[in-house]
């Protein structure tokens, strides 16, 4: 992905936001969170804010540590190296504006809002919920490419990881091996804390790796992803041995069928609740009515959990739209015995969907001959 395409994507996002600001009667928008700042500017440094005027160039407020990075990443922005606090720099710029500064009420804290009101006056601020969040729902080609790159890194790391698994390894050791493989294949780091859950620990959907050791009788659930160039992927696969109990094999086949049904149900204009229902119905038909307690998936991008949520609780007017990238990850959990989950990343297109991830998932493909 070349710098020109990244800058072009940033310009397009800023132009879109500026239209929203003019419609809302705001003079500018404050991006105070690292995620929104990076999304709008392509700048990846910390302790920095972006002030986007309704017209004209946006200003990145950063400091000496990031002077060279900002100049390289953001040739299309004004760079202001601050000599005082972020709040005071913003207040200085804000006094030149003819109108209020809009902000995301989900990221600006109560304490920060009080400080800004004190410096700018009550009329100097205006909450504008969802302005950037709605833009982030739809991934542009540079974002799709970034997530696909993260997937290819994660998938290559998975191949190495399978060769390193040994019976007797602890969950912590397994997670460490996979995160090392991610780095070896070029990831900036894991997309989130890797989950390696052995046997009964896998019945907890967000289990933390501990000291439980892998045995030939224990299914292994691995939820992992790569972070690369600011974007993340999210995958879950099972590792089973030939000595796995028949009830585990049956549950695996049911979860796989549920995931495939949900993937086929996904497409433009489809209510997110319908995708969830497609997965849940398969599990109910297989006799697993009460063992799947979380949603079927979520959006994915700069954060590992973004909108939309693929949940039965979502209203019918929340639908999938072209450009959204979602995970599809039904599961089956038997407390204190075992858990099964299979997860892929799926792009919603104008005509249907495209599964971006490529790891094998048929039962015969996840059964390994594990050695000590």
Domain positions in the chain are 3-135, 141-368
pLDDT for residue 372 = 79
Nearest-CA neighbor of 97 among 33, 39, 40, 21?
A: 21
Under-50 pLDDT residues of the chain: none
Class of domain 3-135: alpha beta
pLDDT for residue 371 = 81
What are the residues facing 46 on neighbouring strands? Answer: none
The predicted-structure confidence for 277-300, as pLDDT tens digits, reads as follows 999 999 999 999 999 999 999 999
pLDDT for residue 2 = 77
Give the whole-angstrom CA distance, residue 253 versus residue 332.
Answer: 11
Q: Which residues of 338-358 are buried (b: 16+ CB within 10 A; e: fewer)?
A: bbbbbbbbbbbeeeebeebbe
Terminal CA-CA length for the chain = 42
CATH of 141-368, one of 3.30.70.2740, 3.40.190.10, 3.90.230.10, 3.40.50.12280: 3.90.230.10
pLDDT for residue 93 = 93
Helix (H, G, I), strand (E, B) or coil at 112: helix
What are the residues facing 238 on neighbouring strands? Answer: 221
pLDDT for residue 1 = 65
Helix (H, G, I), strand (E, B) or coil at 235: strand
Helix (H, G, I), strand (E, B) or coil at 264: helix
């Amino acid at each position: 992905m070349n710098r020109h395409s990244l800058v072009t994507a940033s310009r397009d996002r800023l132009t879109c936001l500026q239209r929203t600001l003019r419609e809302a009667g705001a003079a500018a928008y404050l991006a105070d969170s690292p995620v929104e700042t990076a999304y709008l500017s392509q700048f990846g440094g910390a302790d920095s804010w972006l002030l986007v005027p309704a017209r004209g160039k946006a200003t990145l407020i950063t400091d000496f540590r990031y002077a060279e990075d900002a100049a390289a990443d953001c040739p299309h922005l004004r760079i202001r190296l601050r000599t005082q606090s972020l709040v005071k720099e913003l207040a200085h710029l804000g006094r030149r504006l003819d109108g209020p500064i809009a902000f995301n009420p989900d990221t600006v804290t109560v304490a920060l809002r009080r400080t800004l009101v004190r410096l700018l006056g009550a009329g100097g601020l205006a909450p504008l919920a969802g302005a950037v969040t709605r833009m982030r729902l739809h991934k542009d080609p540079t974002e799709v490419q970034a997530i696909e790159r993260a997937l290819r890194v994660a998938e290559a790391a998975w191949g190495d990881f399978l060769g390193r698994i040994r019976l007797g390894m602890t969950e912590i050791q397994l997670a460490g091996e996979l995160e090392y493989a991610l780095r070896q294949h070029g990831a900036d780091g894991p997309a989130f804390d890797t989950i390696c859950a052995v046997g009964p620990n896998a019945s907890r959907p967000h289990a933390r790796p501990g000291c439980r050791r892998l045995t030939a009788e224990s299914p292994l659930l691995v939820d992992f992803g790569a972070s690369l160039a600011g974007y993340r992927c999210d995958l879950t696969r099972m590792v089973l041995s030939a000595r796995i109990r028949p009830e585990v094999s049956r549950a695996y086949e049911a979860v796989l069928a549920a995931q495939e049904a949900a993937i086929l149900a996904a497409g433009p204009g489809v209510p997110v609740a319908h995708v969830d229902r497609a997965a849940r119905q398969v599990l109910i038909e297989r006799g697993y009515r009460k063992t799947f307690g979380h949603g079927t998936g979520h959006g994915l991008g700069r954060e590992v959990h973004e909108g939309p949520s693929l949940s039965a609780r979502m209203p019918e007017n929340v639908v999938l739209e072209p450009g959204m990238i979602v995970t599809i990850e039904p599961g089956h959990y038997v407390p204190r015995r075992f858990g099964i989950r299979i997860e892929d990343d799926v792009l919603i297109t104008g005509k249907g969907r495209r599964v971006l991830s490529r790891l094998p998932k048929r039962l015969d493909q996840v059964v390994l001959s594990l050695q000590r």
